[in-house]
Structure 1
Amino acid sequence: MARNDIRPIVKLRSTAGTGYTYVTRKNRRNDPDRLVLRKFDPIARQHVDFREER
């Protein structure tokens, strides 16, 4: 089984509308839905939700 099948690279985009993104990997078996993480957006200078973008 290939490495990218279970843990694909996903892009997390800020919901604040700044266009800032984080890049991470996720486990598709544990998180089959879209990932939502609360992280710091340096452009908005606050913690906001980052949603998985496909």
Structure 2
Amino acid sequence: MARSETRPIIKLKSTAGTGYTYVTRKNRRNTPDRLVLRKYDPVVKRHVDFREER
């Protein structure tokens, strides 16, 4: 079964500068802009913003 292009795999990179990343999927139809999520960065041991990188 082929993967849908409406939900591509994206990498979320930490804005704290640690280089820590999360991998997730997003619905391109609902969120066409770059995704920003507040998630836990274990390197700095706190929650920071993670931005979508391409």
- The root-mean-square deviation of aligned C-alpha atoms, in Å, is 0.9
Determine the structure 2 residue equivalent to 1:22: 22
TM-score, scaled to structure 1 = 0.94
Contiguous gaps of at least 5 residues in structure 2: none
Give CA deviations for 1:1-54 in whole Å, capped at 9, x if unaligned.
x53310000000000000000000000000000000000000010000000000
TM-score (normalizing by structure 2): 0.94
Q: Which is helix-richer, 1 or 2? A: 1
Question: Any runs of at least 4 consecutive aligned residues in structure 1 with deviations exceeding 6 A, and if so which?
Answer: none
Q: Give identity over the alignment, percent.
A: 79
Name 1:45's counterpart in structure 2.
45
